[in-house]
Amino acid sequence: METIVASIWSSFRRVPPAAIPAMMDCILAATAVSPSSLFSDLANEFPNLIKVIEQESEMVESEWRNCVLTYVAALSHFLKKSGTHHMHTFVWKVWIPLLKLTHTFDYELFNEVTSLFLDVIIGTDSWEVLEETVVPLMLRSIGQSMGVLKNAELAIYNWSDHTIFEGSIDKELSSKSFDNSRRKLTEKYIPTDFSVSNSYDFPLSMSCNTLTLTLDAALRNKHEGVVPGSTSTNGSQAILFAGNMLWDLCNLSLQMLSQSFEHRSSAIKFLLPFIFKSFVYNHSFQVAAPGTPRVLTRKEFFMKIWNCCKLLFSLGSLERRDAYDILSLYLSSSSTDEPEDVSGREEINELKSDQGFWDEIKRGLLDKENSVRKHSLYILKTTLTLSNEGKCFSGVLEEVADESGSESRMIGKKGRWADKEAQSLGVGKICNQNESNFTGWHRWEAFFFLYEMLEEYGTHLVEAAWNHQIMLWLRSLFSSESSINSVNEELYRNQMGTADQIFQWLAILWERGFCHDNPQVRCLVMQSFLAVEWENYGGCLKLVPKDFIIGPLIRGLNDPVHHKEFGVKEVYSSSIIKAAARFMCQYASYMKERQHVSFLIDLSSVPKSHSFGRAGLICLVECIASAACGNSRHNYHDINEFIHATDGILVESAPNSCQIDRADLLDVLRFVLECGKQHFNPKYRLRVCEKILAAAASMMTGSDVPLEILFHFISGVPREYTDHGGSLRYAVQKWLRGPNMQLLKAIDGFPSNFISNQHPLDSSLFTYDDEELEAWGSEAKRWARVLFLVAEGREHFDPVLKFIQDQGDEVCKQKNYSELVAVKFLILISSLVEELQVIQERTAICRVTKKMDRELVRSLVDNPSFTEESIIFDKFAVVLFSFLEELVSFAKLSCSVFWSGVITEDMMLPSSIRGKLGGPSQRRLSSSLCTSVVEAITCIKTLAYVMRWCEQFRTDVLTNSAQTFLWKFCWKTITTPAPKSEVEAEICLASYEACAYALKDLGFVFSPLSLNLVTSTNKSFPSETDGKSMLDVFVSAFIYNIDNVIDGGQLARTRRAVLINSKWSCLESLLSLPNYALRNGVHRITCKSFFSDTTVTRIFGDLVGSLENAGEVSILPMLRSVRFIMELFHSKEMDLSISSSSGVTIEMMWLLVRSSWILHINCNKRRVAPIAALLSSLLHYSVFGQGHMHESNNVPGPLKWFVEKILEEGTKSPRTIRLAALHLCGLWLAYPNTLKYYIKELKLLTFYGSVAFDEDFEAELAENCDARTEISVLSRSLDPELVDVFINTELYARVSVAVLFSKLADMAGLEESTNRKEENISIIASGKMFLLELLDCVVNDKDLSKELYKKYSAIHRRKVRAWQMICSLSRFVDLSIVEQVTSCLHTSIYRNNLPSVRQYLETFAIYIYLKFPSLVDQQLVPVLRNYEMRPQALSSYVFIAANVILHAKNETQFGHLDELLPPIVPLMTSHHHTLRGFTQILVYQVLQKLLDSNSSAASMSLERRCFMDLRYYLAHNSDCAR
């Protein structure tokens, strides 16, 4: 027996599996051995098979695969011979272990092995073996992978270990035999995740595949095993097995679809295809379920699948994609193609009756994933069964196609080719339909044709078919000739039966076109949509879905590809924008008022969920304005006629019927305004504001909405457009005032409502903090702005003035008023004064610049700011002055909290402070104390504002008393002893904050009288006659005391930063006093004596030591203080009678620039004000003219070091380098002797190029007062007109340098001056030095000397910039350097360069030879006779020579003609066509100008007659003329 088995085993590698049955039969016949014994012996050889698999790498692949297959085939054959009593042994000992091993290596081998075993099952009808072993084992493996440890209640096959091994014949095989046989292979061949918990856990894909193969085998046996005429069949067991197994697999697949992605994928890939296939011919199965028998039907299972799909649709993108896969799988396997399949049609009809199905199909058709769109389209087509039913209409289609064939031949070449392409796809006939036959089925055919066309990338089909089909669709909507052409037409009218439904599907096509991958297709679809003449299609326009317009259409209009002409020549519009606005106007004209407002709210809310580009936002606001204006904006006569014919769609609603909606509308319009602020181009922002204001004015008046909403909206409009001189001021005023000035009444009532709003029952318990104070202040400022926009004459201010006058005395005296009312009143007053100051400043600017449009001035002639502002200002001053004394008294009372001394150490801080992390710094005081402190600060701030305003119109005892109080308050603050606790420190901090407000406004009104008040109110101040610096004591005490508070350690870190900021704000105000005093009439000598040398030096050292660690908010005050210190040093240095100071030394300057540079690199470089302040403070005019500050002993000085650093950093910051160029060029013009130190920096500015625009820069100048102030302090611009044009472009740096040297040349008088001053000599030397440096650079630089470079490359741009600057420096060429210049010039001309570079070389050369005529004969003539030169260089020299002849002075012109024309003429016959044509043109120009055509031929010489004929030939020959 062993010999037989060994022989059989050795043959397994070479014998094919198909020959095994015959071979085994021969062995059985020859040896008389029983099949049972041979099976047992071969089964014991399984370890040898394991060795074969182990040695797989040493064998040919086909050998070990054949060995496995023949081994299994032999065992299977013996099983068929011996019966089923060895079946369990085979399953547990061979087949299951082998399945795991083969599946690991080869999926195909796994299927073949499984098929061999299933053939045995079919042949022996041993389905009970699978029921007892394989099926429960695989189900258990899948169940455990899902975490289902127990059987489902309705499961037929149990999953427990006991039931699996219960039917095993050999109980020893249950676990140990399998484990022992595979232990050696587990580590090498079985992945670890397969055997983590149990030896019988199979991979998920393997379990599913095994089950599906088993089910398929049972179904095949069921259909193949039926014997006709017999009541008992050998397939009956297979039928029962298949039904039971199908029941469990259906339940299992439903569970798997709700699990992870891996389980869903396995269910979709393995289980569902075979389950659906099972239902193809049998729509129901009998199932032996626990309890009563059940029937499993296809319809029942499909509805469960559909419910599962609906759940998947509501989840993520992966789940939705799987749901579409499941539906496609079901529909592809169903038998709905057959007419007798009634059950299948019922399921499809139930599916179509579910609106959720259509919604998901529409979503899928618009999905971003291509696979999802294809599945959705397939599902839709299959559901409609279009392919078969279309045969009913083929005759009509062909007939129509034949009739319209002549029309097809008339289209253009591209159209005919596209039509032919469509015919090749089988859908071209749809292009030729007419509306009379455009029924429901035709619409679906057209829909699929257009949709599939959009799935292609090309444009030819869209160009040929899109417009025709869309127009045909629209014309057919209300056509009376449209009728049902088939008994099945109602089927196709499903979801395509009504106009609303049709437009839903049209919207899908349009949306798909708007997001197409091909930009040309997107343009074609958008143009087609907006080109529809909706007035020709009845009321179709109102059927366009609102969601489509607000969503896909607006997002599509945001695509830049539609707006190619947008922004050209600062025209912010396009043809698409105009068409979209026209469409919106038509669409909105069909709406009732409430619908209209709701639509505008939804349309204006789109930016909240979708970001817009420049063109997209303009398009949106145009659409909003057009939709808001409706018919009044566009003259659409046809639409108006249609509106009157409709059934009362447009009716006038009752007044104020939708006030809440209008408030919501105005609020979202404000959001659109805020979106416009992200784009900082002034004209662009103006366009956005114009349209939004037009929309608001069309929908409501100012009195239709609550004041709060209106105030917020107006605050969203940039002030430069609504203040005096603003382009939108008149439009805003007209809208707000309305016909009857109704809004003014509400505005007049605001103050009383404001101060009494939310008035608590017990005012003593009411507290507030800085955040609430800021909110109230913002509200009051918004009111003040609107008040001065609405008020038209002086009488309109009377109610507000009366309220202030009536309430002022009583509030300040605290008669029957709480602290809350008082502080709100003070906020109201300060907001009014701030607005008055802004109006005053803007009015002054408008009068100075005189840039206002005449029509605008005429419309504003009645405005207070132009004819009555002085009266209005004075009236406010009188009212404020009336309670100034009471306000001072109230301030004294409020400020007592700073020095009361009644402070408890254990005050409980509010929970909002104790539990707060991050955010703005808050006062660490109890609520009641915080309220008192905030009230005191507000009182000082308001008093300072009022005092400053009143001082402009009246100076008397009351204003003096206010100044006196404020100075005393400041003095008392800075002389208060250092705090000993945190609470005292917080109160001290608050007093310094109030002091900062006071000093700021005291500086504005500082006058000789103020000086007397300061010295007379406090004996500590020295008088002018004492010979001491009058403010030394004040400043010294201030610095000493505030430093003690800062360093005392009582304040928290964040609070200490606030105090430091107050310190520098106060110090800035104190240092600015000499400037204000000088402006207000104080003698210059007195102003210079305000501070001693010691104090100024001390402040300078304090500033330098603090700059490195300065906070963001302290940067500007500190840098301004530096600038004031530099001015003080300069003034003292210039007047030795009051000071012996030597000014700023180089050591001091080194300390300043190094600490300032550390500050700069740590701060926000994108802000204009800090950069400008840094430049004006360090590069100060007082030190820039000193040579040792720039260079000493060939070592860079502090200023040169700083300039190098700032320009190096500017190469990465366009804003920095532009501001640096602005300031430096002004300083270089003022101090030309410093230019020689900065040749390298000038070259850097010349070659600089970066982003084209910095719109943020203009926005900061428009909105940030600090930025405007600091820009104005920079050195005066060389040319204000050029600054306006170029400051916001990358050209500005090199334009500034070019203008600088042009003005320097004018200053030096290069053309006529011979007696040159020392300054002129330095200018000329610097100009020549810079010119030679640039020429050396273009000749010898590695990049600039290259001859091969691409157009618009970095090298190309740098070459152009270099030669542009060289041309601007040509005036500095003189006899001393002309040889060097021409040498470099000839080298550059000889090299290959692009025409845009050569034009500058030629221009420079022409200027040189015109300036130095003697060089023509010495250099130019020999060069022109060098005929071996490159044709490109010769062309340049011919151009230079021709222009020298044409533009030379009269005394040298004919001499140049005699010298230059002879060597040029031969070049007219050059073989090089470019050189030849170029020479002919130039010679013609010379002869045309210099030869007199009126001379007679007899008086002319032979040479002259030759030239005359040559000129005639060049002028009239067709080739030359061309």
Q: How far is CA 1036 from CA 1021, 1040, 1085, in A?
A: 12, 6, 21
pLDDT above 80: residue 982? yes
Q: What is the pLDDT of residues 602-630, one digit of tens each?
A: 999 999 999 999 999 999 999 999 999 87
CA distance 1370 to 1407: 7
* pLDDT band at residue 1137 under the 50/70/90 scheme: low
Average pLDDT over residues 1114-1140: 81
- Answer yes or no: are the C-beta atoms of 970 and 999 closer than 8 Å: yes
Q: What is the pLDDT of residues 530-540, one digit of tens each?
A: 998 888 877 78
**Which amino acid makes up residue 849?**
T
Q: What is the pLDDT of residues 838-869, one digit of tens each?
A: 888 888 777 665 544 444 444 443 444 444 57
* pLDDT band at residue 1370 under the 50/70/90 scheme: very high
Which range is least confidently modeled, 129-133, 693-697, 995-999, 1044-1048? 129-133
CA distance 676 to 689: 8
Q: How far is CA 358 from CA 303, 361, 512, in A?
A: 16, 5, 17
CA distance 732 to 891: 38
Q: What is the pLDDT of residues 10-49, one digit of tens each?
A: 777 777 878 878 887 787 777 777 777 777 777 777 777 7
pLDDT above 70: residue 452? yes
- Answer yes or no: are the C-beta atoms of 560 and 594 closer than 8 Å: no
The pLDDT assigned to 468 comes to: 78
Distant-in-sequence, close-in-space partners of 1192: CB < 8 Å, separation ≥ 6 = 1146
Highest mean pLDDT among 347-361, 419-433, 473-487, 1235-1249: 1235-1249
> pLDDT over 70 for what percent of the chain?
77
The pLDDT assigned to 93 comes to: 77
Higher pLDDT, 444 or 943: 943
pTM > 0.85: yes or no = no
- Answer yes or no: are the C-beta atoms of 910 and 963 closer than 8 Å: no
CB neighbour class for 486 (10 Å; exposed up to 12, middle 13-18, buried from 19): middle
Average pLDDT of the residues of the chain:
79
* pLDDT band at residue 1344 under the 50/70/90 scheme: very high
- The beta strands (E) that lie in 1124-1221 are given as 1191-1192, 1195-1196
Where are the alpha helices (H) located in 883-914, listed in sequence order?
884-894, 911-914
**Which amino acid makes up residue 870?**
S
CB neighbour class for 1352 (10 Å; exposed up to 12, middle 13-18, buried from 19): exposed
pLDDT above 80: residue 883? yes
Paired strand residues for 1446: none
The pLDDT assigned to 494 comes to: 65
* pLDDT band at residue 212 under the 50/70/90 scheme: confident
Average pLDDT over residues 223-234: 45
Q: What is the pLDDT of residues 1163-1204, one digit of tens each?
A: 866 788 999 999 999 999 999 999 999 998 889 999 999 999
The pLDDT assigned to 695 comes to: 93
Where are the alpha helices (H) located in 1211-1341, listed in sequence order?
1214-1230, 1239-1247, 1255-1263, 1265-1273, 1280-1286, 1292-1308, 1318-1340
Higher pLDDT, 407 or 92: 92
Which range is least confidently modeled, 375-384, 922-931, 1472-1481, 1492-1501? 1492-1501
The pLDDT assigned to 641 comes to: 35
CA distance 857 to 969: 45
Quote the tokens at residue 160: 């427990």
The pLDDT assigned to 1257 comes to: 75
CA distance 344 to 337: 9
pLDDT above 90: residue 1365? yes
- Answer yes or no: are the C-beta atoms of 475 and 416 closer than 8 Å: no
Burial track 335-351 (b if 16+ CB lie within 10 A, e otherwise) = ebeeeebebbbebbeeb
Quote the tokens at residue 514: 């708007």
pLDDT above 90: residue 1381? yes
* pLDDT band at residue 160 under the 50/70/90 scheme: low
Average pLDDT over residues 1193-1222: 90
HSE at residue 296, side-chain half, CA atoms within 13 A, is 26
> pLDDT over 90 for what percent of the chain?
30
The pLDDT assigned to 1029 comes to: 65
CA distance 846 to 866: 10
- Answer yes or no: are the C-beta atoms of 953 and 873 closer than 8 Å: yes
Average pLDDT over residues 859-882: 68
Average pLDDT over residues 976-1000: 92
CA distance 1282 to 165: 96
CB neighbour class for 265 (10 Å; exposed up to 12, middle 13-18, buried from 19): middle
CA distance 834 to 719: 14
The pLDDT assigned to 696 comes to: 93
- Answer yes or no: are the C-beta atoms of 94 and 48 closer than 8 Å: no
* pLDDT band at residue 649 under the 50/70/90 scheme: very low
Sign (positive or negative) of CA dihedral 1301, 1304, 1309, 1313: negative
Distant-in-sequence, close-in-space partners of 752: CB < 8 Å, separation ≥ 6 = 803
- Chain position carrying tokens 């609303």: 500
The pLDDT assigned to 766 comes to: 74
Map residue 536 onto helix, strand or coil.
helix
CA distance 665 to 1234: 61
pLDDT above 80: residue 1456? yes
pLDDT above 50: residue 1124? yes
CA distance 337 to 345: 9
Burial track 124-158 (b if 16+ CB lie within 10 A, e otherwise) = bbbbebbbbbbbbbbbbbbbbbeebeebeeebbbb
Higher pLDDT, 791 or 347: 791
Paired strand residues for 1053: none
- Answer yes or no: are the C-beta atoms of 649 and 643 closer than 8 Å: yes
**Which amino acid makes up residue 61?**
E
CA distance 676 to 664: 19
Quote the tokens at residue 631: 């018919």
pLDDT above 80: residue 555? yes
pLDDT above 50: residue 580? yes
pLDDT above 70: residue 170? no
Instruction: Reduce the secondary structure of 792-837 to three states and give it as a string.
Output: CCHHHHHHHHHHHHHHHHHHHCCCCCCHHHHHHHHHHHHHHHHHHH
Highest mean pLDDT among 314-318, 816-820, 1240-1244: 1240-1244
Highest mean pLDDT among 71-75, 915-919, 1207-1211, 1517-1521: 1207-1211
Q: What is the pLDDT of residues 686-725, one digit of tens each?
A: 999 999 999 999 999 888 899 999 999 999 999 889 988 8
pLDDT above 60: residue 162? no
Map residue 524 onto helix, strand or coil.
helix
Map residue 1192 onto helix, strand or coil.
strand
Distant-in-sequence, close-in-space partners of 87: CB < 8 Å, separation ≥ 6 = 79, 120, 124, 126, 129
